[in-house]
């Protein structure tokens, strides 16, 4: 019995930092002094895109699964429930990123090539990283910036590779403020 109580206590203590981290992230987004870097929602099929994919043809790319589409809608609902409205929404040109941003239903989406996929555009990795850093460092608001991009892009910027649909909240110096997971389905 004592072991069970100890395990329960440890699990509660382990959960506290994550929820506190998430609360800090939402608070920063509400004040508008932050940037939300979101990895596109679930798009099965591996890493990168199929050989011969075309950026202007979604049928040739990895696309969102049904779960990914539902996750994107839930993340958008979480923004609305918390009164967080992005001042600007940028997306990688990949269909799975644009679709994630669209399904969130938070406003007009602008395509930003600097947030393209460095796994596919290997010859442009450094230019993509420099371009995305410039966009983020140049963001002065007012309000918060939402960027929907790829895990590899976020990892190059922050050192952390988020799960599908996860958000890493940073300041414009790319210092991590907190993380927001995909809300559980209800």
Q: pLDDT tens-digit profile of 19-48?
A: 779 999 999 999 998 999 999 999 998 777
* Predicted pLDDT at 17: 56
User: What gap in Å lies between CA 49 and CA 93, rounded to an integer?
Assistant: 13
pTM (global) more than 0.85: yes
User: What gap in Å lies between CA 164 and CA 150, rounded to an integer?
Assistant: 9
Residue at token pair 């590899």: 152
User: What gap in Å lies between CA 67 and CA 71, rounded to an integer?
Assistant: 6
Q: What are the residue ranges spanned by the domains of the chain?
A: 2-180
* Predicted pLDDT at 39: 97
Element (H, E) at 58: none
Across 113-137, average pLDDT: 84
The CATH code of the domain at 2-180 is 3.40.50.1240
């Amino acid at each position: 019995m004592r072991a069970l109580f100890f395990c329960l206590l440890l699990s509660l203590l382990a959960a506290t930092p994550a929820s506190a981290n998430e609360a800090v992230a939402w608070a920063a987004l509400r004040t508008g002094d932050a940037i939300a870097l979101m990895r596109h929602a679930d798009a099965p099929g591996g890493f990168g895109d199929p050989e011969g994919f075309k950026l202007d043809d979604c049928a040739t790319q990895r696309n969102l699964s049904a779960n990914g589409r539902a996750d994107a809608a839930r993340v958008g609902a979480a923004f609305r429930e918390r009164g967080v409205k992005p001042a600007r929404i940028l997306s990688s040109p990949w269909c799975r990123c644009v679709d994630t941003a669209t399904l969130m239903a938070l406003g007009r989406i602008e395509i930003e090539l600097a947030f393209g996929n460095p796994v596919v555009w290997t010859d442009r990795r450094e230019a993509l990283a420099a371009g995305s850093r410039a966009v983020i460092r140049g963001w002065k608001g007012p309000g918060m910036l939402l960027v929907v991009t790829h895990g590899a892009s976020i990892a190059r910027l922050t050192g952390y590779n988020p799960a599908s649909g996860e958000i890493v909240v940073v300041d414009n110096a790319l210092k991590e403020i907190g993380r927001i997971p995909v809300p559980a389905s209800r």
